[in-house]
Amino acid sequence: MAQAEIAIVKALAKPAFSWRAGIQWAFLLLITAIILAPVAMVTLGGFNVARPTEGFRFGFDNWARAWADPQVWQALWNSISIVTIRGILGFAIAIPLAWLVARTNIPGAKWLEFGFWVAFFMPSMAYIQGWVFLLEGGRGLLNQWFTMLFGQPSPIDVYSYWGIIWVHLMAQNVSALFILLVLGFRNMDASLEEVARTCGASRLRTLLDVTLPLSRPMLAMLVVLAIIRGMQSYEVEQVLGQPAGIQVYSTLVVRMLSVEPPRIPEGTALSTLVLISLIPLILLQRLYIGRRQYTTVSSKMRTALVDLGRLRWIAFGVVFSVVMLQTFVPFVATVAGSLMRRWGYFTIASPWTLERWQRVLGDDLFIRSLLNTLFLGVISGITAAIVCFLIAYVLIRTQFPGRDALDFVSWLPWAIPGVLLSLGLLTLILMIPPLRILHGSMLMLVIAMIMFRLPLGVHLLKTGFMQINRELEEASTICGGTWLSTQLRIILPILMPMLIAVALMTFVTAVNEVSGVVLLASTETRTLSLLSLGYLLGAAPQKEAAAVVTTIMILLCVGVALIARAFGLRLAEGGLR
Amino acid sequence: MPRTRIPVPWMVCGLGLLWMLLIACVSAQQSSPATPVRATEAIASGASAQEWNRIVEAAKAEGEVIVWTQVGEDRRRFYKDAFEKAYPGIRVNLFQAPQSAERDARFLQEWQAGVAKVDVMIAGSAGVNARIKPVGGLQPLRPLLRPDILDPAVWRLGILWVDKEQQYMLMSDTSVYPPVTVNHSIAENEIQSWEDLLHPRYKGKIVQTDPRSSGPGFAAGLFMYYNPDLGPEFMRELYNKGVVFSPDERQNAEWIDSGRMLIGISARPQEVEALRKIGGTLRIVPVLKVKGRPEAFFQGSDGILFVPNLDPLPHPNAARVYVNWFYSRDGQQAMADILQLPSNRVDVDLSNVPQYTIPQRGVEYTNMNEERFTSTESVQQMRDYVDRIYVAP
């Protein structure tokens, strides 16, 4: 017994990875440099008041001009208002849905969850087109039915403030929150909830007093995520807000970048606002989490589900309805659009055609773009999962002195619009001659994709690590397990759903991302999203052909998700054995 | 031994993939073979056939030409497919950026770092004038052109150089964008002059692309701002009426057709025609009057080409062949047929091009691509003015 105690003390006293400190530092410095350098390039660009032919000259003129724009305050207010309302409503919808799927015996939970993944795969334009088709002023299908039923024009118009909120809720807002919350709720010890129930707490009270407080790290991360991503959200506001005269912060930044001549320095100055607001946000996040323990995964963990009784079918109906709203509308709109002579025009002569499918699939660029996308998505997805895992490990499991700085740095890629971040990356690799070899290469795109998903991946896995009791790793160490074998056999299987989520979300980014890749891709590394853009923005745009590519992109994501799911589940089971 | 069941979603995905491949095979079989033109067919009257053949052979030895432009599948068919069909031995390595601003930003970064690899750039002359030319990023185009292309007799409105040096940018398309496109509810003669747009009935019912960004609305904005009889004051009055700036030109045309908007300023003709083909009832007003005189403007877009200031160009001979093909009858015919743009060449058949986009006699036109309008200062002045006065509806 005494020997065992000595072994435990020795194992615990042994500084983790002391022999690997050099590698650890090198890895962290590399990650920090890769993230910080392009962000710094962009930030400094906001302070550069030199003419294009001159070098760097420091000044605040760009800031002054950006903030003197008469629309900037109204746009900021609109952004804050939309982000707040869609955030509150998004959480109000996603939390109960995620709880029902993750913590109760609702029928078909796995498929309902997969439904939200499918919703997450849909590009924003699919949602916008779908809801415009249904709810546009006097032309929307549902509005026309309303007029037929009630004999008066429908008061609903998707081109409005509430239209923007609605489409956001039906788009990736709720689905992303749901997916991430489910991952957190799944790692919950059922015995904690059972204690609450035994003490007489209702299901709602148990959710509010036990489940949610234990999910504080996840919730805090999601709030920061919702605010940052909300401020950067562009497409919905651009399409639905312009006719209603609603300008938001992100549309203003993009406008500054696209006007003639471009106001890149001013747009850059304005875009760093989110960067600055990150500091108080992260401080608040830490205050909220505090120094408490959020460990829920231990050797005694029980995964029993709450029995809803007959109510489970009602719950199923509710969740299923939301899934259908989130997947059916955009998917049908996209597929129908790809098969129409002109998207949304049902009453013209012979409205249906396969011509666009033939054109796209017969396009020489299609197969190459498809292969590029698959390659980029798979490599980026796997690499992102590994990199995020390692960073999250360092943040939670080590005493590395630069942890706080690294934690902050890992949020940065989301504080800058994608196009500016890729411009920063481009400037960086062109400035340093040995890095020029990366220009136009697939590796450059892989780095960009990882950066775009790094904040989500790192902070999601961070919450995962916080939920896992250290006793599991300590027990493995005592039993003679090395660090690697402990991670592979104990931690990896527990975090596997989160790792798959990170990989899949990176894959989806690789498939859908446009603004972030356009400056970095070459003709050889063109992806499906750029092919789709080519159809969408020509001299005579082919929205229907773009819908064909979008349909293929959605199917690709669903296919990869099915494979990842099957593979991941097998890995998790194997690891646990 | 238990039988393995294939899950339904996998079967659906598999069948879907099979179906796509089948369609791909069918359409691949249907595609027509290329019909190359002989190099000698394109020989200039003043140039020696031998010399031109030598350039073409050298271009074929180089194997490719790198062309940077804006996105668009139709643009790809013109810039790449049509050229490769004409010169089978030379591949076009085409890079397409969503907007010329992004293309120019990337080019400047690469050019200043000394790693740019581009032979030819096409379209977005305002941006190139404002960003690339002032820093010395262009080389003269004129020395690369064959004498027959520089013959004023082959150009309908004469040779139109965009730059004041008459060296860098030759304009080959002269598109008259209809000043306004209207919903069918607007009577035939209801709108005859620019001033008619100020009627209170149209408040919040006029749409155009943002005059501060490149596109049809940009040229319209410059026209209004710099026209002595309209000018900034007219622009302020109009843009205070709640004109909607919407970047989606196709959607704008649909809005005019459906009545969501009543008037579109400078709508893209291709969008208007596409709708009219399927029964759309929106109407073109080809010319508006200014102080009683019919005045309009034309602009070039996809028919303007630039050569970057790289010494040497990555493929100097292929670049030369490309440039000359672009401004030749063959190149311009391809532009007219594929992009439906009215070439300024007299020997191009424009029957596929909407007739109202071709400059007509009796109308006073302003060329909005002239450097006096597209210089950095001119563009910036208009842009900043719109920033100050625009009130969203």
Q: Please give the Cα distance from A284 to A216 (Å, whole number).
A: 12
User: How does pLDDT run across B75-133, given as a tens digit for each residue?
Assistant: 999 999 999 999 999 999 999 887 787 788 889 988 988 889 999 999 888 788 878 98
Taking alpha carbons only, the member of B331, B323, B319 closest to residue B118 is B319
The minimal CB distance from A245 to the residues B31, B127, B392 is found for: B392
Q: Which of B10, B73, B115, B369 to mutate to test the interface with A (most CBs of A within 10 A)?
A: B73
User: How does pLDDT run across A298-318, given as a tens digit for each residue?
Assistant: 666 666 788 888 899 999 999
Residues B69 and B79 sit within 8 Å (Cβ to Cβ): yes
Q: Which of A117, A260, A524, A530 to mutate to test the interface with B (most CBs of B within 10 A)?
A: A260
Taking alpha carbons only, the member of A456, A462, A450, A483 closest to residue A382 is A450
Percent of chain A with pLDDT strictly greater than 90: 28
- Omega of the bond prior to B312 within 30 degrees of 0, cis? yes
Q: Please give the Cα distance from A330 to A40 (Å, whole number).
A: 38
The structural domains of chain B, ordered by start, are 42-175+301-359 (3.40.190.10), 180-298+373-389 (3.40.190.10)
The minimal CB distance from A257 to the residues B101, B109, B126 is found for: B101
Strand partners, B297: B366
The minimal CB distance from B74 to the residues A137, A436, A540 is found for: A540
Q: Which residues of A touch B27 (CB under 8 A)?
A: 358-359, 361-362
Q: What is the mean pLDDT of residues A117-137?
A: 85
Beta strands in chain B (DSSP E): 64-70, 91-97, 120-122, 138-139, 160-161, 170-171, 180-182, 206-208, 243-245, 263-265, 283-285, 288-290, 293-298, 304-308, 364-367
Residue B5 neighbours by CB distance under 10 Å: 8
Taking every pair of Cα atoms in chain B, the longest distance, rounded to a whole number of angstroms, is 90
Query: With an 8 Å Cβ cutoff, is B271 touching chain A?
Result: yes
Q: Do A259 and B213 touch (CB under 8 A)?
A: yes
Q: What angle do CA A287, A272, B209 make, to 5 degrees?
A: 130
Tokens 């891709």 correspond to A521
Taking alpha carbons only, the member of B279, B302, B264 closest to residue A538 is B302
Q: Please give the Cα distance from B347 to B338 (Å, whole number).
A: 17
Residue A135 has pLDDT above 50, yes or no: yes
Q: Indicate where chain A has its CATH 1.10.3720.10 domain(s).
A: 19-52+363-577, 68-349
Residue A119 has pLDDT above 60, yes or no: yes
CA closest to A354 among chain B residues: B23
Q: What tokens does B256 get?
A: 């005019």
Q: Which residues of A touch B278 (CB under 8 A)?
A: 341-342, 345, 348-349
Percent of chain A with pLDDT strictly greater than 70: 92
Q: Do A539 and B130 touch (CB under 8 A)?
A: no
In the three-class reduction of DSSP (H, G, I as helix; E, B as strand; rest coil), residue A61 is classed as helix
How remote is the C-alpha of B316 from its chain's centroid?
A: 25
Query: With an 8 Å Cβ cutoff, is A419 touching chain B?
Result: yes
Q: What is the CATH T-level fold of the domain A19-52+363-577, as seen in this structure?
A: MetI-like fold (1.10.3720)
Which stretch of DSSP H or E encloses residue B385? helix B376-389
Q: Do B73 and A538 touch (CB under 8 A)?
A: yes
CA closest to B270 among chain A residues: A540
pTM across the whole model: 0.81
Q: Which residues of B touch A247 (CB under 8 A)?
A: 392
ipTM for the complex shown: 0.77
User: How does pLDDT run across B245-273, given as a tens digit for each residue?
Assistant: 988 888 899 999 989 899 999 998 889 99
Query: With an 8 Å Cβ cutoff, is A436 touching chain B?
Result: yes
Q: Please give the Cα distance from A543 to A549 (Å, whole number).
A: 10
In the three-class reduction of DSSP (H, G, I as helix; E, B as strand; rest coil), residue B277 is classed as helix
A and B: number of Cβ contacts within 8 A:
188
Q: Do A540 and B270 touch (CB under 8 A)?
A: yes
The minimal CB distance from A542 to the residues B73, B102, B212 is found for: B73
Q: What tokens does A392 get?
A: 């999250």
CATH class of the domain comprising A68-349: mainly alpha
Residue B36 has pLDDT above 50, yes or no: no
Taking alpha carbons only, the member of B87, B165, B99, B103 closest to residue B323 is B87
Strand partners, B95: B68
Q: Which residue has the higher pLDDT, A98 or A399?
A: A98
Percent of chain B with pLDDT strictly greater than 90: 63
Q: Which residues, other chains included, contact A570 with Cβ-Cβ below 8 Å and sequence gap of 6+?
A: none
Backbone CA torsion sign across B10, B16, B17, B22: positive
> Which residues 291-310 of B are in CB contact (within 8 Å) with A?
301-302
User: What pLDDT shows up at residue B27?
Assistant: 39
Q: What is the mean pLDDT of residues A245-255?
A: 87
